[in-house]
Structure 1
């Protein structure tokens, strides 16, 4: 494994008059590293050029060199949506442009009728003498242009409302969103989809959930949300309201919800915060902004409601009995102590036990008749 070499300036070793053996560390899968370079005393060693390590094949095995594949990025847990699908303003014109086009179309039809001599006598008397050319190819073309202009102008009129937006598309391609209010003109060839962008409150129907012990529940939640990106809300999913409902149901399956008064203090707020984070993260890629998801009512599932009701009654009854027993014991102790301290009776241990038993029975009987 070792050979006798003479150090050179290129290798960074000391140059001496006598030859110095330089041992090398060799391996089939690594480069050659001179041993004396690892234990040099030179305070400022010269840089040693290093060759890139290559994973070579093992000799005599026929194994091919192993190539390291670059690590593939793990897909994120969030929903992936087309990054180009982002809301942008659409090109629209004021409503006056559509009205003007409609008026020009009506005026064109009137002028063409006068040109063809088709106006009624009363209207023709107030106008200059018509040429009376009749309905020819030119007149029909003028009629078609005027009607098309009028329909194109009046057909594109739209009214924008506060809290509503129009998502425009042409032949399946997103062309922009209109959030303007008032009268405006939109290209009538574009497909319009109305989207509600107001702040909305949705009270869900009873949804399946569970508490920390796995007991099935039915929970009603109140969701405060709105549409933030109209393009994704209208085009990324088939129905964004249904998608929101399913996200809330999926979050309830992952977050435990406690019954009112049955969990620790602040458990309802903790569950609401966890539900809000989960639903907001699931709905953000489709253009929805969720502000809060709060459970407003929780009840046991029908299949275990009767059993849990009996269990609750038994717990209340046990609590009442413990309270009654504590009160009886305190009363007996107070009575025996007073009788002994005032010297009204002198009791030994046996008599004291008998008195305590009799008083306990009497107090328990009285409690049972009058109630706690």
Structure 2
């Protein structure tokens, strides 16, 4: 409905040259007291020639409308002359950064989190940006916030919340950024906006649960570390018993084996240094 039409108007240098020629002729007419012709030439100059001169800077465009009808868009930088009765709207084509504000939303598991995103975007189709939406800058802000909220609601914060999740907000940053960019392009295509890059710039638990989640993470880390220590200690005890049996160094009954296993596990799994006690008697004293 709002298909962009690229046009290249007449060179503005020719129109400027005509302006100065007509101006000189008008001055000559006034000098020779031919006021009627001089007035006509000045009217043509300042009503038809001069208002049609436009300058298009690099990475800018001019959207032209004539009596409510879209005429076309000038995207090539330069100096041009267009119909003086057209309305000329300047539209920047430069890439822009949107540093989104921190939003407090719930993740997939219902936990309150804080999230924000940085989005790099630019106008791709000037006709849609001008006519399809009321204010394309406001449209980008609102739709970007909606996309970030939807993304946060679709995934868990991390794998502690959902162990079966393939993608989480914390651990799947690259995949999450790709999904966010895709959703933004879908949402902003109506306004002719092209999203170049979108990334999560801030991600954290909300303040009311941050302390509890930190304790949970610490407890999980301690449990994981203890699990590795126990697995290693059991392997070392098993190896010690096998080597003692192979070398026939000492013959232990089941009770002494149990005592030895208990002592070795205490030494290997303890979080503090153990004070050794030397047995100067027999094994059974």
Q: TM-score, normalised by structure 2?
A: 0.75
**Cα offset, 1:195, TM superposition:** 1.4
1:310 aligned partner: 215
**Cα offset, 1:318, TM superposition:** 1.6
DSSP-derived class of the 1:187 partner: coil
**Cα offset, 1:230, TM superposition:** 0.8
2:272 aligned partner: 368
Structure 2 residue corresponding to 1:158, chosen from 50, 54, 64: 54
Sort the Cα spacing of 1:95 and 1:261 in 2 relative to 1 into closer, same or farther, 3 A.
Answer: farther
1:60-97 CA distance string (max 9 Å, x none): xxxxxxxxxxxxxxxxxxxxxxx2x3322457321123
Contact 2:120/2:195 (8 A) holds in 1: yes
Distance 2:52 2:252 in 1: 107
Distance 1:277 1:352 in 2: 63
2:115 aligned partner: 219
Structure 1 residue corresponding to 2:9, chosen from 78, 92, 106: 92
Contact 1:208/1:249 (8 A) holds in 2: no
Higher relative helix content: 2
Contact 2:8/2:76 (8 A) holds in 1: no
Q: Which has the higher contact order (CA 8 A, sep 6+)?
A: 2
Distance 2:30 2:76 in 1: 39
2:125 aligned partner: 229
Structure 1 residue corresponding to 2:72, chosen from 176, 179, 182: 176
Distance 1:318 1:163 in 2: 57
Contact 2:58/2:77 (8 A) holds in 1: yes
**Cα offset, 1:111, TM superposition:** 1.3
| 1:109-124 to 2 correspondences below 5 Å | 109-116=26-33
Sort the Cα spacing of 1:196 and 1:300 in 2 relative to 1 into closer, same or farther, 3 A.
Answer: same
**Cα offset, 1:273, TM superposition:** 4.1
Structure 2 residue corresponding to 1:145, chosen from 40, 60, 72: 40
Q: TM-score, normalised by structure 1?
A: 0.60
DSSP-derived class of the 1:328 partner: helix
Q: How many residues align?
A: 264
Larger Rg over CA atoms:
1
DSSP-derived class of the 1:86 partner: coil
**Cα offset, 1:103, TM superposition:** 0.7
| 1:1-372 to 2 correspondences below 5 Å | 83=1, 85-89=2-6, 92-116=9-33, 139=35, 141-152=36-47, 153-198=49-94, 202-208=98-104, 210-255=106-151, 256-257=154-155, 264=166, 267-290=172-195, 293-295=198-200, 297-365=202-270, 367-369=271-273
Instruction: Name structure 1 gaps, 5 residues minimum.
Output: 1-82, 117-137
**Cα offset, 1:282, TM superposition:** 2.2
Greater mean alpha carbon deviation, residues 223-232 or residues 266-275 = 266-275
DSSP-derived class of the 1:368 partner: coil
Contact 2:12/2:79 (8 A) holds in 1: yes
Sort the Cα spacing of 1:304 and 1:169 in 2 relative to 1 into closer, same or farther, 3 A.
Answer: farther
Contact 1:201/1:225 (8 A) holds in 2: yes
Sort the Cα spacing of 1:215 and 1:102 in 2 relative to 1 into closer, same or farther, 3 A.
Answer: same
Contact 2:119/2:197 (8 A) holds in 1: yes
Query: What is the RMSD computed on CA atoms of the aligned residues?
Result: 3.2
Contact 1:208/1:252 (8 A) holds in 2: no
Greater mean alpha carbon deviation, residues 303-312 or residues 168-177 = 168-177
